[in-house]
Chain A
Amino acid sequence: MRSSLEQFERVSDYVSGKLTDSQRSLFELEMSNDPFLQEQVAFQKDMVRVVERRALRSEIGAVAGSYAAGGMSLMSKLLLGAGGAIVVGVVGYFFLINPEAEQKSKLAANATEQSPADQQKELPSDSISGENTVVFQPELNPVSIHFFNRHTVDYMPPFYSVYAGDMMPSNLELSSGTEDNAGFASIEEDSLMRELVPTVEQKRAYVGSWRTSPMSRAKVSKIPGLRKQVKSRKKAATVYVTDEEGNILNNAKMTYSYFGEQRMVAINGVYAFDLYSDIKTTVVIELENGDKALIENVDFKPRYATYIEIDGYTTVKRKEVSPEINGAPKRITD
């Protein structure tokens, strides 16, 4: 943005209607010859509209929530509906957790009056308690239809895996069987998400879920002994994530599963990381006998992502879904 603070303030005053008639006329004359100024005005006007809408949605959501009060929470229904079973096909999806979500409206309004402790009391029963609280407010944060545009949603995020039954929104589609979509997400991954999110500082984070692409899955399956051990359901291998220096990252959880028909072993996982971090990671598969296979430079960062807000969580779908994998896994034990 090539504007100065001074120009920004003028645009801001114009958009807010704070200029006098003569100032406004002068500004509009200047704007008529300056496309960039026009763009800035348009941008700030859109910002005003979006901010107003968010607050309004929050107010409508609060009323909608009170209408739904009395029954089970949406999340409870969803979880019960899923019955704890393994669910739907899904691949790479990324989460931007915005724990305070739409509640910001209330917080801002009451900022001068409420202590953090008071704010904490407002959390609904679905919230995860703890120092880094993640607010899950399905009733207070209704989903906008704009966020379910099927042109932007190709993958079902795990929180929607529980929609596998008749509660799945009709405007969402499962994209099963696509290049990167041979795996399965499970309720278990939801749990991992919930477990990981509080580990992230500042209450905001991307939580990436990564799983091996078909190509890398084939490579993984060639790790001596791994497929056999997984197939026989032995808990013989552990999967974890390290940073570039080999430190194990505690905010990452990886699991593996075996796909019988494809004779493949897939590594699934979720990884919570700070919003602006750009960490290159290595997925390590360690066999019982100490052998290790490394998948290096797994890039969790959701570049060129599409953002989709769901019930106070915001999912971020990465357009380039294949994780960056350099070279085949290699034995490092010898």
Chain B
Amino acid sequence: MTDQEIISSIRKGEREQAIRFLYQEFPKIKALILKSGLNEVVAKEVFNDSLLLLIEKLQDPKFELTSKLTTYLYGINRFMVKNEMRRQNKTAYELEWSDTLIISDADLGYDVEKEERLSQLDKILTQVSEKCRQIFELFYFRKQSMEHISKTLNYSSVNSAKTQKYKCIEQAYQLAQKHVSHPESLMP
């Protein structure tokens, strides 16, 4: 696949083939991560998270790629490895990544505090009912209409589905207030 084909398919929501293609870089990047002093489990986490950040960037229509896509992927991995090393109080072996694109927090739009908030919210999602998670996914991710959702999830009417969605959000919000020490930290 060419870079453009990958970007195009990701923006169309057809991501599987693109992910498979990009995942071919995993063995080489894993080797670099291992040489940096991190273990295999972390290497996989770092790579998967880097891939996630890359796809998020590519989904943004304003994003313009200024290098090869795989070069950018290596750059994100380098960034994530440095983050991880910092968190583990380890010294990063920059030598291993010397030929890799240097990407900053700003380039990537990566905000540690924001990531932490999203992580908290993600944990909260595990506490809401399965029905609520389904509604959230169908509405927020699949972008389905409430009419469609009410049929898919067997609600008696669209209004019932809307009310349930409202209750679900309210539940998530309450949980966020309960579990996040500073509720205002949910603000962007």
Contacts and interface: CB of A to CB of B under 8 A. Distances in A.
Interface of A: 1, 5, 8-9, 12, 16, 38-39, 42-57, 59-64, 67, 96, 98, 100, 104-105, 107-109, 111-112, 142-150, 167, 169-171, 203-204, 275, 304-309, 314
A170 B176 contact: no
B52 A67 contact: no
B137 A50 contact: no
Question: Which applies to chain A's interface (DSSP): helix, strand, loop or mixed?
Answer: helix
Contacts of A8: 166, 169-170
Contacts of A147: 119
B186 interface: yes
Interface in B61-101: 80, 84, 87-88
A204 B138 CA distance: 21
Nearest to B20: A63
Contacts of B123: 306-309, 314
Which 8 A/B pairs are nearest by Cβ-Cβ distance? A307-B123, A146-B119, A51-B140, A145-B45, A48-B140, A108-B137, A42-B187, A169-B41
A109 B26 CA distance: 27
Contacts of A62: 16
B117 A46 contact: yes
Nearest to B173: A1
B19 A53 contact: no
Interface residues of B, number: 64
Contacts of B124: 307
Interface in B166-188: 166, 169-170, 172-174, 176, 179, 184, 186-188
Contact of A46 (B162, B170, B186): B186
Contacts of A1: 169-170, 173-174
A296 B180 CA distance: 30
B28 interface: no
Contacts of A149: 87, 116, 119
Contacts of A142: 44-45, 48
Interface in B120-136: 121-127, 130, 133-134, 136
Given A64-B44, A67-B23, A150-B87, A47 B166 contact: no
A56 B58 CA distance: 13
A64 B48 contact: yes
B126 A96 contact: yes
B121 A59 contact: no
Interface of B: 15-16, 19-20, 23, 26, 38-39, 41-42, 44-46, 48-49, 51-52, 55-56, 80, 84, 87-88, 115-119, 121-127, 130, 133-134, 136-143, 151-153, 162-163, 165-166, 169-170, 172-174, 176, 179, 184, 186-188
A108 B141 CA distance: 10
A39 B184 contact: yes
A49 B118 contact: yes
Contact of A59 (B15, B116, B134, B165): B15
Nearest to B134: A108
B188 A42 contact: yes
A79 to B, nearest CB: 16
A143 B26 CA distance: 16
B125 A54 contact: yes
A242 B13 CA distance: 52
13 contacts: A1-B170, A1-B173, A1-B174, A46-B188, A49-B118, A51-B125, A52-B141, A54-B125, A60-B51, A104-B130, A145-B84, A169-B39, A170-B42
A307 B184 CA distance: 19
Given A1-B170, A60-B19, A108-B137, A145 B179 contact: no
Contacts of A60: 19, 23, 48, 51-52
A252 to B, nearest CB: 22
Which of B87, B118, B169 has the most CB atoms of chain A within a 10 A radius of its CB?
B169
Contacts of B15: 56, 59
